[in-house]
Amino acid sequence: MRNNRKIMIAGNWKEHFTVSEASHFLHKLEESVISHHSIEVVLFPNILTLQPLSTQLDRRKFRLGAQDGYYEDAGAYTGEVSMAMLRDLVHYVLVGHSERRHLFNESDSIVAKKAQAAVRNGIMPILCVGETLQERLANETKQIIHNQLTAGLMHLTSTEASAIVIAYEPVWAIGTGEFAKPDQVEEVILYIRKQVAELLGERASRHIRILYGGSVDDQNARSFLDISSCDGALIGGASLNHLKFSKVVESAYRVQQQRTGQ
């Protein structure tokens, strides 16, 4: 059955850009990325640069997302930036990125609260899930994905959850250059869709968008986008190369044209 989910190409700018560096890079991207109505391109710069970039951004081409956000809307939490503070700036926020989970000890319950806080503030969470190498080798991939999904979606209604995005990012493929094989990606994405169907119903499972992330670049993007159940890519390193990133957007456009039979 043909799906009408819009392909998303998301760039997680994992670079400690200053405001002027980020602005300069956005300028280059705006020159090289061609806008297509059928493709959603979302940029995730660091929190400091969101505000200035939001005034520079060509909204016909790009949307903005935050790399993280705090789950309490108000209160004394020194240093934290809440979803409530982000709500006028971004469409999306990453929650449960593996770097947050592993380097900052974010538990499933914190991830769940962040997903809930995002939805409460009208921001769409991109819930990141994925197994470590050790877990894959121990055949625990599905169990880990199941646990992360169940926990991450815990506070959302079926309608809320069907509007969110899930990113499958195997930890061993992030920033390593060792990307997952398309059949491994397809297997996990189908498993995620099945889990979503069980947790939230068939309708949510058909609507929810699921991305792949982990060493995606202009050379391999097409092999993931050709998976019919895969709705796009979350890209780290290669999103910081404007030529590579714009080539991925073009690949996505061609795939979307095929999907819609144009």
Which residues form the catalytic set? 97, 169
Q: State which of positions 232-261 bind ligand 13P (CB under 6 A).
A: 234-238
Task: Determine which residue in the list 46, 121, 162, 215 makes contact with ligand 13P, applying CB under 6 A.
Answer: 215
The CB-of-174 to ligand 13P minimum distance in angstroms stands at: 4
- 213 sits near ligand 13P (criterion: CB under 6 A): yes
Position 175 contacts ligand 13P (CB under 6 A) = yes
Q: What single string gives the DSSP state of each residue in 218-230?
A: TTTHHHHHTSTT-
Which residues 6-25 are close enough to bind ligand 13P by CB under 6 A? Answer: 12
Rounded to the nearest whole angstrom, what is the least distance from the CB of residue 175 to ligand 13P in the complex?
4
In the complex, least distance from residue 159 CB atom to ligand 13P, rounded to whole angstroms: 26
Q: How far is the CB of 247 from ligand 13P (least distance, A)?
A: 14
Check binding of 130 to ligand 13P (CB under 6 A): no
**Which residues is 212 bridged to in the sheet?**
168, 233
Per DSSP, the three-state class of 124 is: strand
Terminal Cα distance for the chain, rounded: 16
Nearer to ligand 13P, 149 or 234 (CB): 234
Contact status: 174 vs ligand 13P (CB under 6 A): yes
Q: Give Cα separations from 181 to 27, 66, 220, 235, 236 (angstroms).
A: 33, 28, 10, 16, 18
User: Could you tell me the smallest distance in angstroms from the CB atom of residue 158 to ligand 13P?
Assistant: 26
Tell me which amino acid residue 11 is: G
* Residues numbered 30-69 forming contacts with ligand 13P, rule: CB under 6 A: none
Chain centre distance of CA 144: 18
Cβ within 8 Å of residue 95, ≥6 positions away: 68, 69, 111, 114, 115, 118, 125, 126, 127, 128, 152
Binding of ligand 13P at residue 170 (CB under 6 A)?
no
Question: Which residues are within 8 A (CB) of 222 and not within 5 positions of it... i.e. 6 or more apart?
Answer: 251, 255
Q: What is the DSSP letter of 96?
A: S
Nearest residue to ligand 13P, by Cβ distance, number only: 236
Q: How many residues bind ligand 13P (CB under 6 A)?
A: 14
Contact footprint for ligand 13P (CB under 6 A): 12, 97, 169, 174-175, 213-216, 234-238
